[in-house]
A and B are shown apart, each in its own frame.
Chain A
């Protein structure tokens, strides 16, 4: 089983406090995404769980057992690194089998397990190649193969797709989700890409300056952000914030009309995505708003429009940026 708990986990490098104190419960088999801007401490949090960094104070439990002072390999977790971190001097076969070799498994068993993992990831024909002879996507698969072959309790992914091009990224995203369904193992996935977070996660953990801002399912975070930060981070394009950041409304929750509505404005720019059109509208004192319109929308720059926000979809925030729930 693979539950992971952080209890007042704190990390400081000298005077620099990276994680002031994080509490988090991750359930067995859950796909949890850590998301936040760069420097928010999400990778550090992952590395603390992996055991690659030592906690300054607090506790980490895996499966109920305190692993705070347990070596990385003994925690029953596998990690996929951003740079893939393959062993460049070893063949794909030895890359995948290295962990099993270190665990002292007999050669025949290693070969069988490597062959099985390679088959799962369509790597069988590349087993004798060196990493430099592989494409980016294939290297990524080898890194995942190295992680799954040990049949760990949990997987840790540190921005694994950020080095791939856009098309491949979408494919690998789906492959990782499929892998999660097939293996049923706990997965923690770090990304700065809120689209990856929304599409992949069972639960999202939003981090800001080392603090956990909010934990919830993608739709909870989308519909009920606790803070201004979460409201701005989750959803694309970003939520519109008006009235000194105390009122938020998402681009998709504003209706447009050419003769009546609550807020007048002038179209500045229109972005056509095919399925949708995003209009950037100058709303005078309210600032610049983004509004989602149907793909066929033909309003061009200079057009005068009226905007009406959906009342039930308005988000209100206090002066400290905390959501006011009505």
Chain B
């Protein structure tokens, strides 16, 4: 009896998981399908799921009209750059909070997280004016700084939870062995925390890649990433769903591929170090 119940239960859970997975994945699937339709089929009612005339012309048109690779390069530079600089700041910060906590460490962590609760639009005007006055509008350096600051709290939090799992005695042992602070971080802490650092980096790259509010507000052309590339197909072009879908597919493709190959690390990152 027990066996029968567990098999039945397993089946239900499996079906449920696939159903949820499909619901979550459906918009992406629909976007990809639409990108291969003619505009006529794209807006057809009732919608056509698979049996339409497949075409790749949308991709050709999109590439002709705007230079995908320039946007993509900007996206890569902004995501990787902001993640790199955030990591340089976050590793020592998380180290200090995990291994040399002070009276205010907990409050500091909470305060950092609370900055994520403020609607970004609240900071838009002051930040825009600062960018304008310092000539940072539409520059990679400016956007990298904003994205770095934006994700720094999450990075520090994640690294902090990973570092907390590392026994302090091992770091003390390295101190007894004569490691300076830099060497302790480089030879002992970082190698032990590599899985945690890797998933933190991956998650942060995805967050930076998808960040739309600030990149749309502070860039126009030369520093514009793929978010801007997609946006350019939504407002002025009206409802050209097929082309918009092609642009979207092109924008998410690189990060989708990265995510696919890094699934294991990502899951670790999303569970925030709760599961060992």
Contacts and interface: CB of A to CB of B under 8 A. Distances in A.
B216 interface: no
A102 B172 contact: no
A102 B173 contact: no
Contacts of B173: 79, 81, 85-87, 146
B167 A103 contact: no
Interface stretch (B121-129, B140-148, B177-185, B261-269): B177-185
B167 A99 contact: no
B170 A73 contact: no
A77 interface: yes
A78 interface: yes
A81 B177 contact: no
Contact of B176 (A79, A88, A103): A79
B174 interface: yes
Contact of A77 (B176, B183, B191): B176
A199 interface: no
Contacts, number: 58
Interface residues of B, number: 17
A99 B180 CA distance: 11
Given A73-B177, A87-B174, A102 B191 contact: no
Contacts of B180: 102
A102 B170 contact: no
Nearest to B194: A89
Interface in A94-128: 98-99, 102-103
A146 B173 CA distance: 10
B191 A89 contact: yes
| Main DSSP-derived SS at the B contact region | helix
Nearest to B180: A102
Interface in B148-179: 167, 169-170, 172-179
B176 A78 contact: yes
B109 interface: no
Interface residues of A, number: 23
A87 B176 CA distance: 13
A77 B175 CA distance: 11
A131 B13 CA distance: 39
Contacts of B191: 89
A146 B174 CA distance: 11
A83 interface: yes
Given A52-B172, A81-B172, A88 B192 contact: yes
Given A85-B169, A85-B170, A102-B183, A73 B176 contact: yes
21 contacts: A50-B176, A52-B172, A52-B176, A72-B176, A74-B178, A79-B172, A79-B173, A81-B172, A81-B173, A82-B169, A85-B169, A86-B173, A87-B188, A89-B192, A98-B177, A98-B187, A102-B174, A102-B178, A102-B179, A102-B183, A103-B178
Top 8 closest pairs, chain A to chain B, by CB = A73-B178, A99-B177, A85-B169, A102-B178, A85-B173, A89-B191, A85-B170, A81-B169
Interface of A: 50, 52, 71-74, 77-79, 81-83, 85-89, 98-99, 102-103, 146, 150
Interface of B: 167, 169-170, 172-180, 183, 187-188, 191-192
